Structure 1
Amino acid sequence: MNPEPSADRRRQALQDHVRQLAECARAAGADAAVPTCPGWTVTSLVEHVGQTLHWVSEIVERRITDPAGLPAGVAELPADPVTWPAWLSGAATRAAGACSGAALAAPVFNAAGDDRTGARFWLDSLLNEAVVHGFDAAATAGHDHDVDTDVAAALITNHLAMLTSPTWTARRPDSVAALRGTGQTLLWRATGDPGLEWRVERHPGGARRQPGGGTADVIVQGPAKRPATSPSTVTPSSPGTGSSTPPTSRADGVTPLHRAPGNRRGRSLCTL
Structure 2
Amino acid sequence: MNLLPHERYCDEIVLRTEALRAAVRGFDLDAVVPTCPEWTLRDLAVHVGGVHRWVGEIVRTRAVDEVPDERVPQFTPEGEDPAVLDAWLAEGAASTAEALREAGPGAKVWSWSWDRSAGFWARRMAIETVVHQADAALTAKVSYAMAPDLAADTIDEWLEIVAFAQASGDDPGAAELRGAGRSLHLHATDAPGAEWLIEFGEDGFTWRRAHERATVALRGPLTDLMLVFNRRLAADSDRVEVLGDAALLDFWLERSSFG
TM-score, normalised by the number of residues in structure 1: 0.79
User: Which ranges of structure 2 fall in alignment gaps of 5 or more residues?
Assistant: 228-232
Counterparts in 2 of 1:81 and 1:8: CA distance versus 1, 3 Å: same
- Report what 2:208 is aligned to: 210
Secondary structure of 1:105 counterpart: coil
- Report what 2:248 is aligned to: 243
> How far is 1:8 from its partner?
1.9
Q: Does 2:80 align with 1:49?
A: no
> How far is 1:212 from its partner?
2.4
- Counterpart amino acid of residue 54 in structure 2: W
- Report what 1:120 is aligned to: 119
| Aligned CA-pair RMSD | 2.7
> How far is 1:57 from its partner?
1.0
Q: Distance in 1 between matches of 2:171 and 2:125?
A: 21
- Counterpart amino acid of residue 257 in structure 2: G
Q: Distance in 1 between matches of 2:161 and 2:29?
A: 32
- Report what 1:109 is aligned to: 110
User: Which ranges of structure 1 fall in alignment gaps of 5 or more residues?
Assistant: 250-259
Q: Distance in 2 between matches of 1:151 and 1:170?
A: 29
Q: Distance in 2 between matches of 1:132 and 1:144?
A: 14
- Report what 1:221 is aligned to: 219
> How far is 1:51 from its partner?
0.6
Q: Distance in 2 between matches of 1:248 and 1:27?
A: 33
Secondary structure of 2:243 counterpart: strand
Matches within 5 A, 1:155-174: 155-165=154-164, 169-174=168-173
- Report what 1:262 is aligned to: 257
Q: Distance in 1 between matches of 2:247 and 2:138?
A: 33
Q: Distance in 2 between matches of 1:182 and 1:35?
A: 35
Instruction: Show CA shifts across 1:102-134 (max 9, x none).
Output: 431122223122xx4532322222122212221
Q: Distance in 1 between matches of 2:76 and 2:88?
A: 10
- Report what 1:150 is aligned to: 149
Matches within 5 A, 1:54-203: 54-67=53-66, 70-73=67-70, 74=72, 75-79=75-79, 80-100=81-101, 102-113=103-114, 116-165=115-164, 169-177=168-176, 179-203=177-201
Q: Distance in 2 between matches of 1:32 and 1:82?
A: 17
Aligned 8 A contact 2:197 2:212 in 1 = no
Counterparts in 2 of 1:181 and 1:39: CA distance versus 1, 3 Å: closer
Aligned 8 A contact 1:58 1:71 in 2 = no
Q: Distance in 2 between matches of 1:12 and 1:225?
A: 19
How many residue pairs are counted as aligned between the two chains? 245
- Counterpart amino acid of residue 96 in structure 1: A
Q: Distance in 2 between matches of 1:111 and 1:168?
A: 14
Aligned 8 A contact 1:164 1:207 in 2 = yes
> How far is 1:31 from its partner?
2.6
Counterparts in 2 of 1:166 and 1:261: CA distance versus 1, 3 Å: closer
Q: Distance in 2 between matches of 1:131 and 1:47?
A: 15
Secondary structure of 1:49 counterpart: helix
Q: Distance in 2 between matches of 1:85 and 1:150?
A: 28
- Percent identity reads 30
Q: Distance in 2 between matches of 1:125 and 1:203?
A: 28
Instruction: Show CA shifts across 1:189-246 (max 9, x none).
Output: 211111011222212221122332333332222212244576222223xxx7982547
